[in-house]
Structure 1
Amino acid sequence: MDTEILARIQFAFTVAFHYIYPPLSIGLGLLMVIFESIYVRTKKKEYHVLAKFWTKIFALTFGIGVVTGIVMEFEFGTNWAVYSRYVGDVFGSALAAEGIFAFALESGFLGVLLFGWNRVKPWVHLVATVGVFLGSMFSAIWIVVANSWQQTPAGYHIVGEGLNARAEITDFWAMVFNPSSVDRLLHVWLGAFLAGAFLVLSVHAYYLIKGRYVDISKKAFKIALVVATVFSLSQLASGHSSAEGVAVYQPAKLAAMEGHFAANAPADMYILGWVDKEQQRVSGIKIPGGLSFLMHYNFNSPVTGLTAFPKDERPPQVNAVFQFYHIMVAIGMTLILLTCLAVFFWFKKSLFEKKWLLWIFVFAAILPQIANQVGWFTAEMGRQPWVVYGLLRTSEAFSQAVTSNQILFSLILFFAVYSLLFLLFVYLLNKKIKHGPYDESEDDDRPLTKGITEVLTGNA
């Protein structure tokens, strides 16, 4: 297989696997802050129990997220040497800022969060929880800023020529606030909040169905439902704003997202469909002029299509970009429908009587994760053939000294190791969920330090 394709597959696999965990950490961090804030204000023990329980699960996701993220940094040097040299100044600044503003904050408070129960005052522990949550949020900022610069470069100039060319920052804040960074950061944050909220909804819906921890689960479910409803609706607005930015700065990507080929014509919006790249047409269910209306509020306004760009500057996998984008949108609308339906039954005082709805929530935890993954696939595959949009092609960015056999061997090895890590994660997560926040016969007053040790060693 082609070396470039294998390098892309390997990086996509490691990034996609890693990205299972950071959104959960950010989303659970928000719920932990809410639970613990209510406890500090009301002194009601059930919120203390919820905060401790979800902190244990947070520790599991955080730990595996850190481990799986390290590999990507090595891949930059081994498989993408030209790219690393080209963007080194930009990425170096962003990652240095992450270390100062994110890792330092997280590491400073993580020990208190995990081991400070019953050792520090409740408000001190709450401050530590907020610190770790903000640290995860700041970490997302700098990663998204670095990636957004690849989508919409700003605040730089190019020094050197040929293989020695590299981007050098001329305006740090222009680099940080590049045209797509704010929209994309909000979209990532909202997706993370939904991932965490729906995991909490899933677990407590399961408890309610089984008749376990009913009182505490009703409280947790209602809080998580409010979070999920607010952010699922917010995600709709965020997605629209992001699409408007793509229309301005990456029109070829937008054309691929809706399978729009005509160079300068009104564009339809597809509910579902299939792109025939060779025939340059899409078969499916559509709203005529729908994309034109969303972009320009006029059904007859022209939208730039793929044929307006040279063939070597169009995303090569148009149908894949189209399908991933539409899966993301479909899941987003499903989450809005599901949360609003649950809120409706809540106001009708019959929410917890609807077991069929609770069962849907049990399995719905996977939906935000899928949406997060396919959203990134849309963004990254839609950017092709550029690794830095309009500046550096992917075909020019990978390491020339690495062979396809070397990449294939490491890919197989990573797949085996990551599969074991995922199975371990599922096993430990399932075991903690089955154990529950505390024993049904008595309150669980064991120190959290013991619980965390059991989670990480598999002896829970």
Structure 2
Amino acid sequence: MEFLSDTVVLSRMQFALTACIHMLWPTLTTGVGIYLVIIEGLWLKTRNPDYYYHARFWSKLYALNFGVGVATGIPMEFQFGTNWAPFSEAVGNFFGSVIGFEASWAFMLEAAFLGIMLFGWERVNPAIHYLSTILVAIGANLSTVWILTASSWMQTPAGGEMVNGKFVVHDYFQAILNPFMPFSVLHMFLATLETSLFVIGGISAWYILKNRHTAFFSKSFVIALAAAIAVAPLQIYVGHLNAEQVYRYQPEKLAAMEAQWNTVTAGQSADWSLLALPNNKAQKNDWEIVIPNALGYILEFKEKLTEPVLGLKEWKPEDRPRLIGVVYYCFRTMVAIGFFLAALMFISVFYWLLGKLSQEKITQQRWLMRGWMFAAPLGFIAIDTGWIVRCVGRQPWTLYRQIRTVDSASHVPATNVLASLTGFTVTYILLLIAYVYFGSRIIRRGPNFNLPVPGIEVTKPAIDTKPGEFLPDERPVEAQQ
């Protein structure tokens, strides 16, 4: 296998591995952080102990995600120095600053107040605790802002120019607010929030199917559904706006996303391939299922295009993405999941309006609950496939049309990279197994209704129970009402 002796390919594989696995955990910390702000706000407003117990329960999963996210994220960033040193040296004037902002503005803010959020319930004033929760959520989401700023700048470099092999910044604000940045940040923010909402809803649906704490978890299910009403459709629209940016600024990526080999000139209508089998050598699709005249409606909401859609044949093979099939199907996977989650949300709202999601009837909606459990991991798949489209579709450039990937990799022996890739693979798999074990244990045990509620006297269980097994009437009296 030739790729085992190719330093660039192995370095790309290593970064893809660490990025795709690491992405699983910040996704939840950013989204669940916002959910915790909502839940604790409801607790302070209503003093309903159910919301307090929700905050304590979901914060356990937040802490687990934060810990594993840190463990997987630091090695990923170190690769800019170990595997991609020429790239870091060339763009460090801007790229290094932005990555530093993510560490100092976002990670440090989140880490500084995380301890108060997790352990300060009975040690600090409720207002201070709530402020800590808000700051943790802000810190988590600032990471999204800075990471997507850096990534967007790699897609549409702005604010400076290459001088003697190095990028010289003339305008930091222009570089930060590069063309891809606004919609990319919003798209990723909505993706993390939507994924978190369906994870929360899916876990709640599991409890409801098991008939455990039904009244309690019906609250978290309905809150997740209510938030998804706004997030799921908006995410589809923002995703379309991102595609328009690709259409405008990265035509070869759009051609790869659509397996479009031949150029469609302005003023013509164009078919859209629903499924296809791209053949890179023959520069055509071996087979495809097309929808006539649909591409114009997708890109411009009209049949005939006002701008040409360039085909892959417009570029030399070395100047266009090579893994066309990967880009093509990852894009369709992401889009399909987005529409599935939106459809599930609309069906759930229909059931809600019919009164079938009340505490008395929600346990009867078994297929709907199974649908939410099935949807729980789909957001992670959509995010990873979206990042594959974003990064693989940018090839062969690291900094778009400025620095090639082959010139960005460190000059180290392929055997060294293969050894580190193997080590990362084993380590990340072990971390994933540990996360699944401890996460499932938190879920199996369920919320601890024996925790003291600030300002409220808690009734003690009348019978002995296993850890995490509590009957509904063992909660505070206020929570049963």
TM (norm. structure 2) is 0.89
Give the deviation of 1:228 after TM superposition. 2.2
Report what 2:315 is aligned to: 309
- Name the amino acid aligned to 2:75: V
Report what 1:188 is aligned to: 188
- Name the amino acid aligned to 1:444: L
- The number of residues matched between the two structures is 441
Report what 1:386 is aligned to: 397
Deviations 1:10-31 (A, max 9, x none): 1100111110100110111111
Q: Distance in 2 between matches of 1:395 and 1:149?
A: 19
Q: Is the 8 A contact 2:271 2:295 kept in 1?
A: yes
Report what 2:325 is aligned to: 319
2:430 aligned with 1:416, yes or no? Answer: no
Partner SS state of residue 299, structure 1: coil
Which aligned pairs between 1:121-140 and structure 2 lie closer than 5 A? 121-140=125-144
Q: Is the 8 A contact 1:260 1:267 kept in 2?
A: no
Q: Distance in 1 between matches of 2:452 and 2:428?
A: 34
Q: Distance in 2 between matches of 1:285 and 1:30?
A: 41
- Name the amino acid aligned to 2:254: L
Deviations 1:339-372 (A, max 9, x none): 1101110111123221011012112111000000
Partner SS state of residue 119, structure 1: coil
2:372 aligned with 1:361, yes or no? Answer: yes
Q: Distance in 2 between matches of 1:267 and 1:320?
A: 22
2:275 aligned with 1:289, yes or no? Answer: no
- Name the amino acid aligned to 1:337: A
Q: Which structure 1 residue ranges, 5 or more long, are not aligned?
A: 448-458
Partner SS state of residue 276, structure 2: strand
Report what 1:407 is aligned to: 417
Q: Distance in 2 between matches of 1:32 and 1:397?
A: 41
- Name the amino acid aligned to 2:381: I
Report what 2:460 is aligned to: none
Partner SS state of residue 168, structure 1: strand
Q: Is the 8 A contact 1:264 1:308 kept in 2?
A: no
Q: Distance in 1 between matches of 2:64 and 2:168?
A: 38
- Name the amino acid aligned to 1:287: I
Q: Distance in 1 between matches of 2:9 and 2:304?
A: 39
Give the deviation of 1:95 after TM superposition. 2.1
Q: Is the 8 A contact 1:36 1:47 kept in 2?
A: yes
Which aligned pairs between 1:271-282 and structure 2 lie closer than 5 A? 271-282=274-285
* Cα 1:104/1:74, change in 2 over 3 Å: closer
Which aligned pairs between 1:371-382 and structure 2 lie closer than 5 A? 371-382=382-393
2:228 aligned with 1:228, yes or no? Answer: yes
- Name the amino acid aligned to 2:232: S
Q: Distance in 2 between matches of 1:280 and 1:412?
A: 34
- Name the amino acid aligned to 1:167: F
Report what 1:96 is aligned to: 100
Q: Is the 8 A contact 1:145 1:181 kept in 2?
A: yes
Q: Distance in 2 between matches of 1:204 and 1:295?
A: 38
* Cα 1:82/1:267, change in 2 over 3 Å: farther
Which aligned pairs between 1:129-168 and structure 2 lie closer than 5 A? 129-160=133-164, 165-168=165-168
Q: Is the 8 A contact 1:106 1:132 kept in 2?
A: yes
Report what 1:342 is aligned to: 348
Report what 1:450 is aligned to: none
What is the Cα-based RMSD across aligned positions, in Å? 1.7
Report what 1:435 is aligned to: 445
Partner SS state of residue 273, structure 2: strand
Deviations 1:314-337 (A, max 9, x none): 101111100100000010110001
Q: Distance in 1 between matches of 2:27 and 2:295?
A: 29
Give the deviation of 1:403 after TM superposition. 1.0
Give the deviation of 1:269 after TM superposition. 2.4
Q: Distance in 1 between matches of 2:426 and 2:237?
A: 39
TM (norm. structure 1) is 0.93
Deviations 1:187-226 (A, max 9, x none): 1101100121111111110111111111111111000111
Deviations 1:48-107 (A, max 9, x none): 100111111100001110111110222111111111111111112212322443234223
2:395 aligned with 1:395, yes or no? Answer: no
Deviations 1:121-157 (A, max 9, x none): 2222111111000111111111110111110000012
Deviations 1:248-297 (A, max 9, x none): 11010011001111123444323333222233333333222322222233
Partner SS state of residue 83, structure 1: helix
- Name the amino acid aligned to 1:315: P
Give the deviation of 1:166 after TM superposition. 1.1
Identity of aligned residues (%): 38
2:206 aligned with 1:200, yes or no? Answer: no
Q: Distance in 1 between matches of 2:370 and 2:182?
A: 36
Greater helix proportion: 1
Deviating more after overlay: 107-116 vs 199-208 = 107-116
Report what 2:217 is aligned to: 217
Q: Is the 8 A contact 2:209 2:369 kept in 1?
A: yes
Q: Distance in 2 between matches of 1:344 and 1:52?
A: 31
Q: Distance in 2 between matches of 1:410 and 1:208?
A: 44
Q: Is the 8 A contact 2:49 2:453 kept in 1?
A: no
Q: Distance in 2 between matches of 1:289 and 1:382?
A: 24
Partner SS state of residue 309, structure 2: strand
Q: Distance in 2 between matches of 1:134 and 1:297?
A: 36
What stretches of structure 1 move > 6 A for 4+ residues in a row? none
Report what 2:451 is aligned to: 444
- Name the amino acid aligned to 1:271: L
Give the deviation of 1:43 after TM superposition. 0.6
Partner SS state of residue 399, structure 1: coil
Partner SS state of residue 153, structure 1: coil
Report what 2:303 is aligned to: 299
Q: Distance in 2 between matches of 1:331 and 1:260?
A: 22
Q: Is the 8 A contact 1:145 1:176 kept in 2?
A: yes
Q: Distance in 2 between matches of 1:434 and 1:172?
A: 49
Q: Is the 8 A contact 2:205 2:370 kept in 1?
A: yes
Report what 2:477 is aligned to: none
Partner SS state of residue 120, structure 1: coil
Q: Distance in 1 between matches of 2:290 and 2:244?
A: 20
Report what 1:36 is aligned to: 40
Q: Distance in 2 between matches of 1:255 and 1:84?
A: 29
Deviations 1:291-316 (A, max 9, x none): 22222333232411111222211101
Q: Distance in 2 between matches of 1:444 and 1:340?
A: 36
Give the deviation of 1:118 after TM superposition. 1.3
> Computing the radius of gyration over CA atoms, which structure comes out larger, 1 or 2?
2
Q: Distance in 1 between matches of 2:69 and 2:100?
A: 19
